[in-house]
Structure 1
Amino acid sequence: MDLLALADFNLVARHEGFGRAARATGRPKATLSRRVSELEASLDLRLFERGGRALKLTEEGRALFERTAVLLTDLQETASAIASGGHRPRGRLRISAPLLFSQTAMGKLAAGFALKHPEVRLEVTTEDRAVDMVEEAFDLVIRVNPEPDDSLVGRIFLRDRLVVVASPTLRAQAAGSPVPAVVRGAATRPPEIWRMTTNEGETSILVEPMLSLSSLVMVRDAARMGVGVARLPISLVSHDLASGRLVLWGDVEGPEIALWTLYPSRRLLSARVSAFLDHLKDAFPKGTPDELANYVEA
């Protein structure tokens, strides 16, 4: 495929017309039209609908534009950085981050990054689902305990752990009676067993979900009110435990919580992605739950 023709196609698609692209870049309109026609011929596809005044992408043209625009930008930025002898971050940086991390830390992180790198247009989308980085044009994703994926590379930048906490006003239940609980998401059929570790060793409690909420921040707030026990990340409740607003019942058994940064291995690691990874490292040099708790409260 002719990369020059592909670049001209992206130029026309971005400006939504041959004339607009020509005026914006000083390139001859006839040259842009010829290169796009050559690309269409080589692919045996029609990339633009040319009827009337408006120039619209066909379905195939839109798919090609979405797949190649970010790649060409990366190549251009890399070439410019090498030519100038530096790697100054610039351009658009799209990040997908999970809900809890976004609610507690991402606003502060994003603001600090924007002040440090004003030539980067940072866009953060909050969602817990596993996004398709290439299809949805994300440069970087932050995920909790992601499934292995051979097409992605990354690193752990934060570790956390789950604990069982409750308000000190929550009264102990009679032996064998379920303890009221606040849970995230749909509750299972009550009662259920929560296994945990205390100073005395391994133990378990029988709980009955009384309240189901969609956010762990909401779960914490409800636990503070004394509705029931809750399983929450220690970073989210460490200050409540220190102040006595919540009390620790035990550590939840199971794997640790690991927050990963991930990016496609087949793409160049751009200067802006590298800069954000460095920004995370500066914010959380040790990657401990205490660092996250202190960062949020600072």
Structure 2
Amino acid sequence: MDLLALADFVLVARHGGFGRAARATARPKATLSRRVAELEAALDLRLFERGARELKLTEEGRALSERAGQLLTELEHTAASIASGGETPRGRLRISAPLLISQTAMGKIAAGFALKYPEVRLEVTTEDRPVDMIEEGFDLVIRVNPDPDDALVGRIFLRDRLVAVASPTLARPDGERPVPAVVRSAGDRQGWTLKTPTGPMILAVEPVLAMSSLIMARDAVRAGVGAGRLPLSLVSHDLADGTLVTWGDIDAPEITLWTLYPSRRLLSARVSAFLDHLKQSFPAGTPDELASFVGRS
């Protein structure tokens, strides 16, 4: 099998068409089309359904694209590792991370890594949306409670949980009247379920502020405008010094932060070094450990 033709097929499949792949790589569209046609002929399989305006993978094409893409990525990582000096971490490392941990901890994490590995050019992009690692060129992504993805593997490096908190000046709920609340969106009027020794308790809320940022929400809760449903790590220092008080844990799934990457085999020295750095930064991976790492803000 012609590996160059296979690589061109994977390239076209990832970009969703010959024209897009040609523009992204500055290669002739005709060359990519010819390579894919040669691969189809060699395999005696139709890999694409060619419509008037769109190109779709056949079932066989999709299966080949997924498997070949993983193998080619591993080959690329192996070649990059060899070219960059084997096990010595150096070269470019691109990471995508969600907003909250980027605002609270990523600066310190990245600085520590850069001091430890000065030959690595670390680039961190902050966004909460799911990203296509291969398409967008990321080596590693950090995500909160990610959906399962057969193309990615990873590990949990931090755990957190939601708590209902408020200023000590705000009256505690009596279970009868709604409490003023700082929420994530204006239309969020759903009650909060609190864990209590006697069982779950539904707390009715009346939104008074909508804040898309959890840090903004925490600051508003500190000011006493309403209660908030926030990660424990974000308010741990406030609870310790009495700036905020807790009304109880929220009955909700645990918050887990994952590092995700395309394959556990043949990881580059850069990715392996960053994973080890996270493990050293958060050996237990608890909310209090994250709060201690971040410090008071």
- TM superposition score category, shorter chain reference: 0.7 to 0.9
Say if 1:196 and 1:38 are closer, same or farther in 2 by CA, change over 3 A.
closer
Q: Alignment identity in percent?
A: 64
Amino acid of the residue matched to residue 197 of structure 1? K
Say if 1:150 and 1:175 are closer, same or farther in 2 by CA, change over 3 A.
closer
Matched residue SS, 2:115: helix
Amino acid of the residue matched to residue 171 of structure 2? R
| Correspondence 1:205-244 to 2 at 5 A | 205-244=203-242
Matched, 1:133 2:136: no
Q: Supply the distance in 1 between the matched residues of 2:273 and 2:175 (Cα, whole angstroms).
A: 55
Q: Which has the larger radius of gyration?
A: 1
Amino acid of the residue matched to residue 267 of structure 2? L
| Correspondence 1:29-40 to 2 at 5 A | none
Q: Is the 1:98–1:143 Cα contact (8 Å) retained in structure 2?
A: yes
Say if 1:39 and 1:249 are closer, same or farther in 2 by CA, change over 3 A.
closer
Partner of 2:81: 78
Q: Supply the distance in 2 between the matched residues of 1:38 and 1:205 (Cα, whole angstroms).
A: 63
Q: Supply the distance in 1 between the matched residues of 2:255 and 2:215 (Cα, whole angstroms).
A: 16
How much has 1:289 moved relative to structure 2? 0.7
Matched residue SS, 1:150: coil
| Correspondence 1:1-298 to 2 at 5 A | 1=2, 42=35, 74-80=77-83, 86-172=86-172, 176-188=176-188, 190=189, 192-199=190-197, 201-265=199-263, 268-297=266-295
Question: C-alpha deviations, 1:43-66, integer Å up to 9, x for none?
Answer: 579xxxxxxxxxxxxxxxxxxxxx
Say if 1:136 and 1:38 are closer, same or farther in 2 by CA, change over 3 A.
closer
Say if 1:199 and 1:167 are closer, same or farther in 2 by CA, change over 3 A.
farther
How much has 1:176 moved relative to structure 2? 2.5
Q: Is the 1:151–1:266 Cα contact (8 Å) retained in structure 2?
A: no
Partner of 2:63: none
Q: Is the 1:198–1:249 Cα contact (8 Å) retained in structure 2?
A: no
Q: Supply the distance in 1 between the matched residues of 2:286 and 2:230 (Cα, whole angstroms).
A: 16
Partner of 1:33: none
How much has 1:135 moved relative to structure 2? 1.0
* CA RMSD in angstroms, aligned pairs only: 3.4
Amino acid of the residue matched to residue 254 of structure 1? A
State the TM-score, normalized to the length of structure 2: 0.74
Q: Is the 2:165–2:244 Cα contact (8 Å) retained in structure 1?
A: yes
Matched residue SS, 2:81: helix
How much has 1:185 moved relative to structure 2? 3.1
* Greater Cα offset, 120-129 or 178-187: 178-187
Q: Supply the distance in 2 between the matched residues of 1:151 and 1:70 (Cα, whole angstroms).
A: 11
Question: C-alpha deviations, 1:244-271, integer Å up to 9, x for none?
Answer: 0000000000211010000112874111
Say if 1:132 and 1:2 are closer, same or farther in 2 by CA, change over 3 A.
closer
Question: C-alpha deviations, 1:92-119, integer Å up to 9, x for none?
Answer: 1111111111110001001111111111
Q: Is the 1:139–1:273 Cα contact (8 Å) retained in structure 2?
A: yes
Unaligned runs of 5+ in 2: 8-22, 39-68
State the TM-score, normalized to the length of structure 1: 0.74
Q: Supply the distance in 2 between the matched residues of 1:142 and 1:200 (Cα, whole angstroms).
A: 37
Matched residue SS, 2:239: helix
How much has 1:193 moved relative to structure 2? 1.5
Q: Is the 1:162–1:252 Cα contact (8 Å) retained in structure 2?
A: yes
Q: Is the 1:78–1:270 Cα contact (8 Å) retained in structure 2?
A: yes
The runs of at least 4 consecutive aligned structure 1 residues that moved more than 4 Å come to: 37-45, 67-73, 172-175
